[in-house]
Chains A and B, each alone.
Chain A
Amino acid sequence: MRRGIRLYFMAMKNSFASRIAYRTDFIFSAVMIFISELIIPFITVLIYKTGASFPGWSVEEVLLLQGIFLLSRGMANLLFFGLVWNTLNRVREGTYDILLIKPASTLFMSVATNFEPDSIGIVVCGLLVSIYAFTMLSLPGIMEILMFILLFVLSMIMLFAFAAFMAGSVFKWVGNSRIYEIFDSIMSFGNFPRSIFTRGFQTIISYVVPVAAVGFLPASALLGRNPEGILTTGIVCLLFLFGSLSFWKLMLRQYTSAGG
């Protein structure tokens, strides 16, 4: 465990050093990500300015949801979502061999060797939007904060499971870079309150593909709302994690190591 933590921090340091070797590109990239991620909160404010709204949600509540959603995605991108690109590129080039000859979990190595510093732009954006929303909302109590932390961890688990599913699939369907776009489209539903969708769709994003666990549930906890189905969504997230890890293991056997 201690070796794993040391390795993760060492890999993180190296990824950061690699990334800032191209300083200008890194700064531009982080700034561009920051600006592009601000678009949805900005549109939300514009919608509310016209008098329209999401039923049962004030603008500051929706902004908080979107801020938390960005924070979850930013943290996931920063800490472990590099798994998808790392696996995709290494499988296509045949350099996944290098990870397989190391005495460490290949899944862990795939995560650790691709820390993505650029995603700091999404984290900063999420923090700023959340803080801005809180300037117009009352501060949460200790119970709400504890519940938020628990649900935020759950959202991280869900995102990790998604990443492992996507990364696992590229062992078989080599070079399938569009998979991230499919994921992004599914995830975009998490930008909005669950209650605005039809009952059937709410069930899908809560219990089938639990996108609601990212953003909606943690934000609801901070707002003191107690949305139904937290426990079930939690179980689904854990099942998702278990399923994704098994899937990864199964797909790893499909690796054919391109090139000589």
Chain B
Amino acid sequence: MIIKINALRKTYVTHERGSSFIDSLKSLIKRKIIQVEALKGISFNVEEGEMLGLLGPNGAGKSTILKILTGVLYPTSGEVEVMGYVPWIKRKQYVAGIGAVFGQKSQLIWDIPPLDSFEMNRVIYDIPARLYKERLWGMVELLEVGEYVKKPTRQLSLGERMKCEFIMAMLHDPEIVFLDEPTIGLDVIAKERIREFIMNMNRKGITFVLTTHDLDDVELLAKRVIVINNGEIVYDNRMDALRKFFGNRKLVTLVTQKPLPDLNGIPGVYVKDMITPHNAELELNTDLLELNRFIKSINDEYIISDLTMRPPQIDSIVKELYITTNKSYTNKEV
């Protein structure tokens, strides 16, 4: 195991005040102290070479986990071990072996070219000149940023800058890389190139822990996903199992010759959208109602003139997971 986390808790102390002028004045004298439980005792492990996706709504605790894993924050309690280190003890030795890309916090120096920032990292990580050149130009070629690395960072597009952020994080050949929303705000092409790069690096044995709101990132990159909500793990399993998490489901678009009644009463059928009386979008739970029986009964009564079927979208499943947060589904067999 490259990462071991056990009963990790993080509690922040923050202040609350109202939005009115009187509230602002009151807060000058006395502020209401609130304890926020960002992480409520989570535990999980990560294998070497794994690509783990951390999913969760805003404020779920994903970034807090990454900050603790990168040695930026101290936890309130719990045990963390990464590559044999406790991140907040012997920080310097530990961070020499990790890389990190924060989608919203740049490591590049704004007014000078990325090449100068890379050179600074070479000195910080004490990378031998030959290895540095080999790695740098290898990644420059892979990410196709040869013409950008000599331009001031502020003149780069977000996509170009993010590619350079990846080079910055990988120059010292880390064993494990933490990615905090690495594709945020990027266009489709830039996302694709960055995902290819991550997959490429993962094939070389580098472990990745990725937090994102972009479900495509997780679907295309991660084999395992952990869903966090309100500081707790609500799902921890393989990515392909997530689709089946709430049962075997199909999204069905139905066009019939006769008008359809309200199908919501049928067990296993959930009407998502009644487009017209002859056209409906349904979600079918095939564990409760077999597909052939459903089609036969509809066809017998209303005569199907068109029918399309597709697996449920991952975002609707995740959304459902976010909503049903009172119950923990960790490692549930599906």
Contact = CB atoms under 8 A, between A and B. Distances in A.
Interface of A: 3, 6-7, 10-11, 14, 17-19, 21-22, 93-95, 97-98, 100-105, 253, 255-257, 259-260
Given A100-B71, A260-B63, A260-B181, A14 B96 contact: no
A114 to B, nearest CB: 11
Contact of B100 (A101, A103, A255): A101
Contacts of B105: 93-95, 97-98, 259
A17 B95 contact: no
B193 to A, nearest CB: 24
Nearest to B117: A14
Given A98-B107, A104-B92, A259-B105, A7 B123 contact: yes
Contacts of A253: 74
Given A14-B120, A103-B125, A256-B73, 10 more contacts: A7-B120, A14-B116, A18-B110, A18-B112, A97-B72, A98-B102, A98-B106, A103-B93, A103-B96, A260-B62
A260 B120 contact: no
B92 A21 contact: no
B94 to A, nearest CB: 8
A11 B120 CA distance: 7
Nearest to A253: B74
Interface string B59-103: 000110001001111100000000000000001110110101010
A253 B89 CA distance: 12
B159 to A, nearest CB: 20
Contacts of B104: 259-260
Interface size class, chain B: 35 or more
A118 B13 CA distance: 39
Contacts, number: 78
B44 interface: no
Interface of B: 12, 58, 62-63, 67, 70-74, 91-93, 95-96, 98, 100, 102, 104-107, 109-112, 116-117, 119-120, 123-126, 152, 180-181
Contacts of B124: 7, 102-104
Contacts of A97: 67, 70, 72, 102, 105
A102 B72 contact: no
A257 B125 contact: no
Greatest chain A CB density within 10 A among B110, B117, B120 is at: B120
Contacts of B72: 97, 100-101, 255, 257
B180 A260 contact: yes
Nearest to B181: A260
Given A97-B102, A98-B105, A103 B119 contact: no
A176 to B, nearest CB: 15
B121 to A, nearest CB: 8
A3 B116 contact: no
B126 A3 contact: yes
Contacts of B120: 7, 10-11, 14
Contacts of A3: 123, 126
Contacts of B123: 3, 6-7, 10
A257 B73 contact: yes
Contact of A18 (B67, B96, B111, B119): B111
28 contacts: A3-B126, A6-B123, A7-B120, A10-B119, A14-B120, A17-B116, A18-B111, A18-B112, A21-B112, A22-B111, A94-B105, A95-B106, A97-B70, A97-B105, A98-B102, A98-B105, A100-B72, A101-B98, A102-B95, A103-B96, A103-B125, A104-B124, A255-B73, A256-B73, A259-B105, A260-B58, A260-B63, A260-B181
A14 B70 contact: no
A260 B96 CA distance: 23
A255 B111 CA distance: 27
Nearest to B14: A256
Contacts of A260: 58, 62-63, 104, 180-181
Contacts of A19: 111
Nearest to A19: B111
A18 B73 contact: no
B263 to A, nearest CB: 41
A104 to B, nearest CB: 6
